[in-house]
């Protein structure tokens, strides 16, 4: 949620129309006595109506669907993980991840949906308290979410790579301390957002149809900050927090994926050498029919077990690649656009298109997290089932047309 007050000022001055804004300020001052002691901005109404009705409906429906799926999925994660038996640190991270996802979904939906419900989508309708609190909660949820994804990657790294050296099973005190530190550190880092965002009064002037029409105005509000404050704060966040987190996330998942790939090839070598070297010797008193049946059983069972292990390793390898891909697709575009927006001044409507589009992409990440981390096995089974159905239908259609020809 990054809105610069300079954007609205720049937008109002860029309109080529023969009207003196100084005269408008005099009229505004005459009707509103408080304006003499307050900072205010005068803009055309087109500046606060960046989206068409069709675009608002599209974003409203899309945001509602994603938020509903994300909310239900993460609530289910909380219910399941309080009763499921698994590694304590992993379960603690999943619970905290679900809480941060729910927080982000709630805050973002509260910010987005009222804006998309009215034609003046650029105006802030939630009041001054929400202007200070909601950006803080949104930044807090993003920070906690990003840190927890790295913690989950670290837990997987310790469980897969370091399991041969020592048993990786942190206790309750360690997990509780990590959880408190993550949330406390994220809250401390996000606290400047409370002071950065300010509640500004905006005087909106409907665009006259001709130069002789008398100008009118109405008062709206925006929640925005200065460009310098935003640039300074988010530059520190990106440089010292997000970049190290991304590097750590990539490195740990890459190491885990490489380890799984190496074990897969080791199992292939074992399968290749076992059929000839590991057949048990049978006493000569046993009939030849029994020897053949027992030998065939031994040869059949070993490849089956190795084949299942190989399939599990291939599946886990693909899961690691999928997690990294989803992370890049859903997170990096939002961060990159935020950096771009802090270093440029956009006054066209594409800013708001990208604002809502990337916001929904971040919401989609919250909706996918339960199925990527808590319910991965169930998700794989469902997609495998659907894939088999689609494959069967495709083969049936192909066979039908082949026989017809």
401 burial level (CB within 10 Å; 0-12, 13-18, 19+): exposed
Domain annotation covers residue 312: yes
Q: What is the pLDDT of residues 86-116, one digit of tens each?
A: 778 888 999 999 999 999 999 999 999 999 9
| Per-residue pLDDT, 30 | 38
Tell whether the model's pLDDT for residue 295 goes beyond 50: no
pLDDT of residue 9: 54
- Of residues 125 and 385, which shows the higher confidence score? 125
The answer on pLDDT for 45 being more than 60 is yes
Across residues 154-180, what is the average pLDDT? 77
Say how far apart CA 248 and CA 237 lie, in whole Å.
16
pLDDT single digits (tens) 229-280:
777 777 778 777 778 878 888 887 787 777 777 766 665 555 555 554 444 4
Residue span of the structural domain in which 72 resides: 5-276+292-380
CA–CA distance, 41 with 47 (Å, rounded to integer): 12
pLDDT at position 7 is: 53
Q: Is residue 392 in some structural domain?
A: no
What's residue 13's pLDDT? 41
Which pLDDT value is given to residue 21?
Answer: 44
**Per-residue pLDDT at 308:** 63
pLDDT of residue 112: 93
* pLDDT at residue 347, rounded to an integer: 52
Tell me: pLDDT of 23 over 50: no
User: Which range scores top for mean pLDDT: 276-285, 328-337, 363-372, 395-404?
Assistant: 363-372
How far from 345 is each of 129, 342, 351, 362, CA to CA, in Å? 27, 8, 10, 23
Q: Report the alpha-carbon distance of residue 117 to residue 87 in Å, rounded.
A: 44
CA atoms within 13 A on the CB side of 394: 6
- The CATH number that applies at residue 123 is 1.20.1070.10
Mean pLDDT, rounded, of the chain = 76
Q: What is the 3-state secondary structure (H, E, C) of the chain?
A: CCCEHHHHHHHHHCCCCCCCHHHHHHHHHHHCHHHHHCCEEEEEHHHHCCCCHHHHHHHHHHHHHHHHHHHHHHHHHHHHHCCCCCCHHHHHHHHHHHHHHHHHHHHHHHHHHHHHHCCCCCCCCCCHHHHHHHHHHHHHHHHHHHHHHHHHHHHHHHHHCCCCCCCCCCCHHHHHHHHHHHHHHHHHHHCCHHHHCEEEEEEEECCCCCCCCCCCCEEEEEEEECHHHHHHHHHHHHHHHHHHHHHHHHHHHHHHHHHHHHHHHHHHHHHHHHHHHCCCCCCCCCCHHHHHHHHHHHHHHHHHHHHHHHHHHHHHHHHHHHHHHHHHHHHHHHHHHHHHHHCCCCCCCHHHHHHHHHHHHHHHHHHHHHHHHHCHHHHHHHHHHHHHHHHHHHHHHHHHHHHHC
Q: What's the half-sphere exposure (Cβ side, CA atoms, 13 Å) at 341? A: 24
Q: Is the pLDDT of residue 185 over 90?
A: yes
Residue 313: the pLDDT is 62
- Indicate if the pLDDT at residue 70 is higher than 80: yes
Q: What is the pLDDT of residue 305?
A: 54
CB atoms within 10 A of CB 360: 21
pLDDT tens digits for 122-146? 889 898 899 989 999 999 999 999 8
State the pLDDT confidence band at 36, using cuts at 50, 70 and 90.
Answer: very low
Give the pLDDT band (50/70/90) at residue 39. Answer: low
Q: Is residue 129 part of a domain?
A: yes
Asked if the structure places residue 257 within a domain, the reply is yes
pLDDT value for 236: 78
Q: How far apart are CA 171 and CA 263, in angstroms?
A: 29
pLDDT tens-digit readout, 187-240? 999 998 888 888 888 888 888 777 766 778 888 888 887 777 777 777 778 777
Confidence tier at 54 by pLDDT (50, 70, 90): very high
Q: Taking each helix axis from N to C terminus, what angle separates 128-160 and 172-190, rounded to the nearest 10 degrees?
A: 140
Domain assignment present for 353: yes
Half-sphere exposure of 310 (CA within 13 A, CB side): 14
Q: Give the number of domains in the chain.
A: 1
Residue 141 · residue 392 · CB < 8 Å:
no
- 223, β-bridge pairs: 199
Inside any domain, residue 390: no
Percent of the chain residues topping a pLDDT of 90: 23
Highest mean pLDDT pick, 58-67, 153-162, 323-332, 364-373: 58-67
Query: Is residue 398 a part of any domain in this protein?
Result: no
Report the percent of the chain where pLDDT is more than 70. Answer: 71
Confidence of residue 384 (pLDDT cuts 50, 70, 90): confident
Instruction: Tell how far CA 182 is from the center of its chain.
Output: 18
Mean pLDDT for 314-325 is: 74
Residue 400 located in a structural domain: no
């Amino acid at each position: 949620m990054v809105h610069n007050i300079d954007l609205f000022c720049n937008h109002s001055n860029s309109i080529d129309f023969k009207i003196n804004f100084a005269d408008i300020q005099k009229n505004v001052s005459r009707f509103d006595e408080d304006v003499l002691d307050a900072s205010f901005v005068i803009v055309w109404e087109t500046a606060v109506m960046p989206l068409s009705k069709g675009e608002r409906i599209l974003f409203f429906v899309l945001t509602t669907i994603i938020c509903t799926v994300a909310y239900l999925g993460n609530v289910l994660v909380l219910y399941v993980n309080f009763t499921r038996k698994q590694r304590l640190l992993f379960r603690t991270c999943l619970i905290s991840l679900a809480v941060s996802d729910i927080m982000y979904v709630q805050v973002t939906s509260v910010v987005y949906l009222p804006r998309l419900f009215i034609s003046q989508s650029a105006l802030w309708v939630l009041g001054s308290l929400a202007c200070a609190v909601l950006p803080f909660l949104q930044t807090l949820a993003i920070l906690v979410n990003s840190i927890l994804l790295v913690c989950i990657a670290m837990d997987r790294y310790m469980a897969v790579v370091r399991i041969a050296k020592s048993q990786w099973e942190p206790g309750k005190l360690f997990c509780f301390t990590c959880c408190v530190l993550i949330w406390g550190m994220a809250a401390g880092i996000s606290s400047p957002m409370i002071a950065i965002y300010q509640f500004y009064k905006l005087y909106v002037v409907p665009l006259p149809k001709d130069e002789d029409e008398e100008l009118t105005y109405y008062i709206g509000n925006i929640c925005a900050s200065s460009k310098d404050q935003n640039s300074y704060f988010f530059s520190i966040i990106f440089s010292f927090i997000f970049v190290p987190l991304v590097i750590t996330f990539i490195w740990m998942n890459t190491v885990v994926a490489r380890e799984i790939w190496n074990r897969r090839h080791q199992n292939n070598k074992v399968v290749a050498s076992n059929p000839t070297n590991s057949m048990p010797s049978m006493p000569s008193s046993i009939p030849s029919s029994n020897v053949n049946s027992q030998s065939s059983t031994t040869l059949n069972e070993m490849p089956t077990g190795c084949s299942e292990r190989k399939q599990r390793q291939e599946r886990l390898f693909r899961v690691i690649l999928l997690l990294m891909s989803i992370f890049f697709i859903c997170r990096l575009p939002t961060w990159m656009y935020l950096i771009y927006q802090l270093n440029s001044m956009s006054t066209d409507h594409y800013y708001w298109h990208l604002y809502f589009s990337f916001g929904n992409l971040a919401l989609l990440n919250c909706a996918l997290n339960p199925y990527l981390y808590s319910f991965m096995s169930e998700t794989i089974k469902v997609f495998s089932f659907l894939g088999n159905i689609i494959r069967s239908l495709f083969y049936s259609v192909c066979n039908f047309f082949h026989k017809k020809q």
